[in-house]
């Protein structure tokens, strides 16, 4: 699909995501952070898909807006524990992605390393399991899509893949389905 023809679809997708976030969180202090979060994920996904790049400026703006909105929410609700869990999730995801990038820079770009903590902060605010499922979902979906494309001979093992797209898909799934996943006692 031609990039210019895609703009109305991106706008429609963003509007649908905003409506879904509004239904999910209602009139709450968390709502602004999650709106910034999903808008940023959509924009970054399409940039990464088209250019195999997650621009530092965009990732930092999204992270700054999400972080500031969650700070306001934590202060307004005295939810410092939730903010702390999100910050720990962000640090853990940064360390994991940084280690992967350090071991094999060709297998994971540094834009993904920057985006991971933003996702983990926003999902970790909801609980560490949300951040875990978002990260696991991104990797499982990325593996299934990658292996399917390799099996169909549409790409090779060394073909670069826009992993930010899969990080975003995993984050969306965790954001909306993470609370429905039950854990054994």
Domain ranges of the chain: 3-178
User: What are the b/e assignments for 2-39, b being 16+ CB within 10 Å?
Assistant: eeeeeeeeeeeebeebbeebeebbeeebbbbbbbbbbb
| pLDDT interval class at 116 (50, 70, 90) | very high
Once rounded to an integer, what is the mean pLDDT over residues 92-120?
93
Q: Is pLDDT above 70 for 64?
A: yes
Segment 124-182, tens digit of pLDDT: 999 999 999 999 999 999 999 888 888 888 877 777 788 889 999 999 999 988 766 65
Q: What's the pTM value of the predicted model, to 2 decimals?
A: 0.89
Q: Which residues contact 118 (CB under 8 A, 6 or more apart)?
A: 37, 40, 59, 62, 63, 66, 90
């Amino acid at each position: 699909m031609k990039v210019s023809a895609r703009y109305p679809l991106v706008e429609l997708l963003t509007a649908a995501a905003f409506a879904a976030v509004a239904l999910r969180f209602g009139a709450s202090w968390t709502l602004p952070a999650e709106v910034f979060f999903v808008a940023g994920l959509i924009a970054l996904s399409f940039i990464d898909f088209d250019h195999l790049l997650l621009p530092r400026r965009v990732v930092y703006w999204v992270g700054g807006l999400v972080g500031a909105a969650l700070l306001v929410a934590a202060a307004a609700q005295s939810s410092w524990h939730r903010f702390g869990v999100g910050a720990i999730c962000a640090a853990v995801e940064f360390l994991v992605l940084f280690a992967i990038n350090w071991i094999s820079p060709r297998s994971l770009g540094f834009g993904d390393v920057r985006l991971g903590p933003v996702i983990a902060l926003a999902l970790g605010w909801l609980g560490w399991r949300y951040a875990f499922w978002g990260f696991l979902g991104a990797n499982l979906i990325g593996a299934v899509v990658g292996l399917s494309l390799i099996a169909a001979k549409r790409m090779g093992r060394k073909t670069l893949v826009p992993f930010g797209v899969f990080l975003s898909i995993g984050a969306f799934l965790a954001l909306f389905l993470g609370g429905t996943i039950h854990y054994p006692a």
